[in-house]
């Protein structure tokens, strides 16, 4: 079961709020994606949008995992994280394992903090020297491919930490995390 509002996740924020949808379609983001995917891609689909947050009640870390065990379609997806306030190690920042998209990990099912999660990686199989912590200022953007092993730190400060997440894929992949196609996002040609 994915995280729910009481566990720090609010899904479909772009579908629920026209300002978030405008941000998801912002040409500056699309230009960055176009550089990543190349000129052969004529447009994108937004696979998923959400807000992930931590606060005084939602403090737990997120285990090392991959998202693709939950998702449909191709693995050619890019997550764009946008910080809505300062994100630090102390308030539960995102962390990656560098170059993990080129490695094969044994995925395990886990239950942590009352949440069932598939696609977890045993922390004993992680080389701690490859950890990268993603601390962000308000408005900073972080991008990562869906095959990057990632997790998050515990919010030891118990203060607000909020990010928006938009997941994009090439327009040829019309899958969506729910039923129906993803939202079309056109490149400015």
Please give the backbone phi and psi of residue 22, each rounded to the nearest 5 degrees, phi first. -60, -40
111-169 tens-digit pLDDT: 654 444 667 888 888 888 999 999 999 999 999 988 899 999 999 999 999 999 999 99
**Local confidence band at 2 (pLDDT 50, 70, 90 cut-offs):** very low
Percent of the chain with pLDDT over 90: 56
Instruction: Report domain extents, the chain.
Output: 5-186
| pTM as predicted | 0.88
Does residue 185 contact residue 30 with C-beta atoms inside 8 Å?
A: yes
Please choose, from the candidates 163, 164, 160, 165, the residue with its C-alpha nearest in 3D space to the C-alpha of residue 54. Answer: 160
The Cα–Cα gap between 133 and 162 comes to 16
Question: Would you state the CATH architecture of domain 5-186?
Answer: Sandwich (2.60)
pLDDT at 66: 85
The Cα–Cα gap between 55 and 159 comes to 5
Instruction: List the beta bridge partners of residue 62.
Output: 152
Asked if the model's pLDDT at residue 108 lies above 70, the reply is: yes
DSSP state of 136: B
């Amino acid at each position: 079961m994915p995280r729910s509002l009481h566990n720090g996740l609010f899904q479909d924020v772009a579908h629920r709020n026209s300002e978030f949808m405008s941000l998801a379609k912002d040409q500056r983001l699309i230009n960055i994606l176009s550089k990543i995917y190349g000129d052969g891609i004529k447009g994108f689909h937004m696979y998923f949008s959400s807000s992930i947050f931590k606060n005084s009640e939602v403090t737990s870390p997120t285990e090392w995992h991959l998202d693709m065990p939950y998702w449909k379609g191709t693995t050619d997806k890019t997550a764009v994280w946008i910080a809505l306030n300062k994100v630090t190690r102390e308030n539960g920042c995102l962390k990656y394992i560098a170059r993990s998209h080129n490695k094969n990990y044994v995925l395990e099912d886990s239950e942590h903090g009352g949440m069932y999660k598939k696609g977890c990686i045993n922390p004993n199989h992680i080389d701690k020297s490859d950890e990268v912590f993603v601390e962000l200022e308000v408005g900073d953007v972080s991008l990562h491919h869906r095959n990057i092993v990632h997790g998050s730190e515990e919010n030891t400060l118990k203060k607000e930490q909020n990010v928006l997440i938009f997941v994009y894929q090439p327009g040829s992949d019309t899958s969506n995390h729910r039923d129906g196609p993803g939202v079309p996002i056109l490149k400015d040609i």
